Amino acid sequence: MLVTIATAVLVPPLLGGVEEAVRTQQLAPPAEPKRHERPPLLERSETSVAILNGNGVAGAAAESAAQVRALQYVVSGVGNAPRADYARTMVMYRGDHRREAQRLAKDLGVKRVAALDGLRARDLMGAHLAVVLGR
């Protein structure tokens, strides 16, 4: 009986206080949707580059690798492209490394930048970018 009386006396003010708090509480505005944030641009010394000979000229990839190293990039490997008939030199990139590819192309004076096309990620020898030498 004591519990019933206590419940009858104490619960209504408690509920009224909760209702009042809910009514007067300012609701926070909905969170802004997260925009797709670009990953930070890698430093040249953190950007790895594979140099692939796509023109068939012996020694062209090694010569280009020396030039890329002089620009402070990491050369992950030198080799032959899957074919030797590329008309122009291009910089290719994998994943979200488009901005690094654009910077490398500008550094080298190369006009063509593209996502991997005709190359597989394994052709890049683990690199972020590939310079495919053309004629």
Q: What is the CATH number of the domain that holds 93?
A: 3.30.70.2390
Q: How far is CA 102 from CA 12, 41, 67, 83, in A?
A: 68, 11, 17, 23
Residue 86 falls within a domain, yes or no? yes
Write out the residue range of the structural domain in which residue 129 sits.
44-133
Residue 16 has pLDDT above 90, yes or no: no
Spatial neighbors of 35 by CB under 8 A, at least 6 apart, are: none
Q: How many domains does the chain have?
A: 1
pTM across the whole model:
0.71
Domain assignment present for 33: no
pLDDT tens for 39-91 read 899 999 999 999 999 999 999 999 999 999 999 999 999 999 999 999 999 99
* Domain-located, residue 30: no
22 assigned to some structural domain: no
In a domain, 9, yes or no: no
For β-strands 90-93 and 129-133, DSSP reports them as antiparallel
Rounded to an integer, what distance in angstroms lies between the CA atom of residue 72 and that of residue 94? 20
